[in-house]
Amino acid sequence: MAKFQPPPVEESVSPNLIPMIDIMFLLLLFFMLGADMSQRELEEVTLPQADMVQADSNTQTGDLTTVNVHHRTDHGFKCAVADGGGVCRDESHWLMAIRGKDYTRDTLNMQLQVEATLSVEPVADPKTGKQLSARMVMIRADQNAPYGLVQKVIEACSFANIYKIQVGAAKPPKA
């Protein structure tokens, strides 16, 4: 009597790509969420150089608001002076931005008052009785920006009772 032989087994090697694609999307999501997004609030600004620049020792950014003063670069905007490599002094060509959103002088005042309420000093100012803000403001102004715009930002900070103000600068390259 002949033994029963099962039919030969066909081994089909076809990888299942769905789990691999799922893993790739999870890795992509992980790296996107884990990336440092703090650079998103910084506009393209060429900081002025200063000999006595100190390294920023404040590593916490929770109580820090960055105000960027930069030249307009939006699509369709033309500035003959800046496009020619010159220094534009027209204040209407310069913008003040917080977290990537541009503000005028009036709207900057309102936004800084909102920022000031996010962190308040525990004790009011004994001389004026006003409640001061513990919020720090870093002003990053382009080296070609009119200084009057920086003064406007400082003035807006004073109206919002923000007294911790820093101005960004870059160290000159070593010769």
Examine residue 131 and state whether it is found in any structural domain, yes or no: yes
Q: What pLDDT score does 61 carry? A: 55
CB-CB contact of 119 with 135 (8 Å): yes
Examine residue 26 and state whether it is found in any structural domain, yes or no: no
Give the predicted TM-score (pTM) of the model.
0.68
In tens digits, the chain (175 residues) has pLDDT values of 678 888 787 777 777 889 899 999 999 988 888 776 655 566 777 778 887 777 766 655 568 889 999 888 777 788 888 778 788 888 788 889 998 888 987 899 999 999 998 888 887 777 877 888 889 999 999 888 888 899 999 999 999 989 889 988 888 887 6
Distance CA 119, CA 106 (A): 22
Q: Which of 161, 172, 142, 123 is nearest to 45 (CA)?
A: 142
Examine residue 72 and state whether it is found in any structural domain, yes or no: yes
Q: What is the distance, to the nearest Å, from the Cα of residue 139 to the centroid of all Cα atoms in its chain?
A: 12
Distance CA 165, CA 137 (A): 5
Examine residue 135 and state whether it is found in any structural domain, yes or no: yes
Examine residue 163 and state whether it is found in any structural domain, yes or no: yes
Examine residue 172 and state whether it is found in any structural domain, yes or no: no
Q: Which of 161, 169, 56 is nearest to 118 (CA)?
A: 161
Q: What pLDDT score does 151 carry? A: 93
Q: What pLDDT score does 42 carry? A: 65
Distance CA 112, CA 153 (A): 9
Q: What pLDDT score does 125 carry? A: 74
Examine residue 14 and state whether it is found in any structural domain, yes or no: no
Total domains in the fold of the chain: 1
Q: What is the distance, to the nearest Å, from the Cα of residue 5 to the centroid of all Cα atoms in its chain?
A: 73
Examine residue 6 and state whether it is found in any structural domain, yes or no: no
Contacts of 102 (CB under 8 A, 6+ apart): 95, 96
Domain coverage including residue 53 = 41-167
